[in-house]
């Protein structure tokens, strides 16, 4: 039984090594660098590696990083936070509520 486990693990290692070396060379970017992404809706910032070009920079802990501003990220998106937000664009919710209120008044007056 012990011999079979060693054979399986050697086969698995060989597959992993083959997978790592099968990538095409010359098509992947090489200019990855640390970049700060800032969520404008809640002010959260996080540092990750990216190839994005930016003109703005920000200093964090004495180090200057390129800055990318985001309107929404996983730290503020309702799907990831579990909080549902009601987004009112151009008063559409208010218009609906006014129409619904009028129809309720009509129903009440008919009874």
Q: Does a structural domain hold residue 96? A: no
The per-residue pLDDT for 107 is: 75
- What pLDDT digit, counting tens, does each position of 41-96 carry? 888 899 999 999 999 999 999 999 999 998 888 887 777 677 765 555 567 777 77
By DSSP bridging, strand 57-60 and strand 45-50 are unpaired
The residue with tokens 């190839």 is 51
Distance from CA of residue 75 to its chain's centroid?
8
95 part of a folded domain: no
Owning domain of residue 50: 29-82
Identify whether 61 is part of a domain: yes
Is 10 domain-assigned? no
- For 62, phi then psi, to 5°, come to 80, 5
What is the count of structural domains for the chain?
1
Q: Is residue 99 part of a domain?
A: no
* Residues in the chain, total: 111
Give the pTM: 0.51
């Amino acid at each position: 039984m012990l011999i079979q486990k060693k054979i399986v693990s050697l086969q698995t290692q060989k597959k992993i090594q083959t997978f790592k070396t099968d990538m095409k060379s010359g098509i992947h970017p090489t200019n990855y660098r640390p970049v700060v992404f800032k969520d404008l809706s809640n002010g959260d910032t996080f540092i990750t590696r990216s190839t994005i070009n930016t003109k703005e920079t920000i200093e964090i802990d004495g180090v200057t990083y390129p800055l990318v501003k985001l309107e929404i990220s996983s730290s503020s998106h309702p799907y990831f936070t579990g909080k549902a937000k009601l987004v009112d664009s151009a008063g559409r919710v208010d218009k609906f509520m006014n129409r619904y209120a009028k129809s309720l008044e009509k129903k009440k007056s008919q009874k």
